[in-house]
A = this chain, B = another copy of it.
Amino acid sequence: MSEDIKLDRAELDARIRRAPYHQWLGLSVTEAGDGEITIEVPWRDEFFVNAEAGYAHGGILAALVDLAADWAIATKLGRPFPTIDMRVDYHRPALKGTLRVKGKVIRLGSSFSTSEARVEDADGKLLASGRGTYATGTGK
């Protein structure tokens, strides 16, 4: 595990945007604390799985769960780590509109760590939630 280096919201926001897929998703970090992070995601019409029914593809929500869970760890350890595996539960269709995803560390370990995330709509309604295991023993 890398040393405990805390990054502030602005640094996390700058770093998370380096990933081309994050740029495409349009992510911005709105809050970041000790093991917790909130990320905002503006809508893109490419998110639709079904344009008539008007809701997002599950793979978009899965990406948000994975990245928020991982970057919650980054608030504690200074960077994200490779995902070993993840689970996502889908609770409600994610209709067109801004999405918000909140990541939170469950348990930091020297080799593996577990973290969870919740995706909400602009009104705070829970759309999806899940958790992942991250290889926090991995060197840079």
Contact status B57-A19, CB under 8 Å? yes
Report copies per complex.
Answer: 4
A49 at the interface (CB under 8 A from B): yes
Q: Is the CB of B20 within 8 A of A47?
A: yes
Q: Which of A21, A82, A107 has the most CB of B within 10 A?
A: A21
A64-106 with Cβ < 8 A to chain B: 64, 66-67, 82-91, 106
Bound complex: CA A50 to CA B15 (Å): 11
Q: A37 near B: Cβ within 8 Å?
A: no
A137 touches B111 (CB 8 A): yes
Interface size on A, as a range, is: 35 or more
A20-44 vs B, Cβ < 8 Å mask (1 yes, 0 no): 1111100000000000000000000
| 20 sampled A-B residue pairs with Cβ under 8 A | A19-B57, A20-B48, A21-B46, A21-B56, A22-B57, A23-B46, A57-B67, A62-B66, A62-B86, A83-B90, A84-B112, A85-B85, A85-B87, A85-B88, A85-B89, A85-B114, A85-B133, A87-B87, A89-B114, A111-B137
For the complex of A and B, the 7 pairs showing the least CB-CB separation, nearest first, are A59-B63, A62-B62, A21-B57, A20-B48, A24-B46, A85-B89, A91-B107
Please give the residue numbers on chain A whose beta carbons come within 8 Å of chain B beta carbons, in ascending order.
18-24, 45-51, 56-60, 62-64, 66-67, 82-91, 106-107, 109, 111-112, 114, 126, 129-131, 133, 135, 137-138
